[in-house]
Amino acid sequence: MDHTSFNAFCRSFKATSHVVQWGNSEVWKVGGKVFALGSTSKQGTPAYTFKTSPLNFEFLCQADGYIPAPYLASRGMKWIQQVDTAGHLDDDLKYYLSESYRIVALGLSKRKRAELGLADLA
């Protein structure tokens, strides 16, 4: 997946916002909370970071193409970075981005979810 496809996919979620910050990273938020980051790795390749469930975090830490997210995971947060973006993991990335969006949105207050039109999110 490239940055254009990543941004288009993240934009498809309801009530999202986008900013470029933190060293030119594509930062996607729902309700003001980050759910996905698109950046460039130290090797110059795309890298995509997302929040996971504890179970998915443990699984992905051992899976090829993924690493614990720099900075975030070292602080105890369950964030993973996909570093293999050659295309064969695109469907997986879409699933994990969708889950990250859901996890972050469900962490918002009921009032905030209602304001954003996300009251029916489960």
Specify the length of the chain in residues. Answer: 122
In a domain, 120, yes or no: no
In a domain, 7, yes or no: yes
In a domain, 122, yes or no: no
Confidence label for 23 from pLDDT (cuts 50, 70 and 90): confident
In a domain, 121, yes or no: no
pLDDT greater at residue 17 or residue 45: 17
CA pair distance 88, 99, nearest whole angstrom: 19
Q: Quote the number of domains for the chain.
A: 1
In a domain, 106, yes or no: yes
The pLDDT tens digits for 33-80 are 999 999 988 788 899 999 999 999 999 999 999 999 988 887 888 999
Instruction: Name which of 110, 83, 81 is nearest 96 in CA terms.
Output: 81
Tokens representing 47 are: 């890298």
User: pTM for the complete prediction?
Assistant: 0.93
pLDDT at 117 exceeding the cut of 90: yes
Q: Report the CATH number that the domain containing residue 98 is assigned in CATH.
A: 3.90.1150.30
pLDDT on residue 45 = 87
Sign of dihedral through CA atoms 94, 98, 99, 103?
Answer: positive
In a domain, 43, yes or no: yes
Give residue 86's domain range.
Answer: 3-115
Compute the mean pLDDT over every residue in the chain, rounded to the nearest whole number.
93
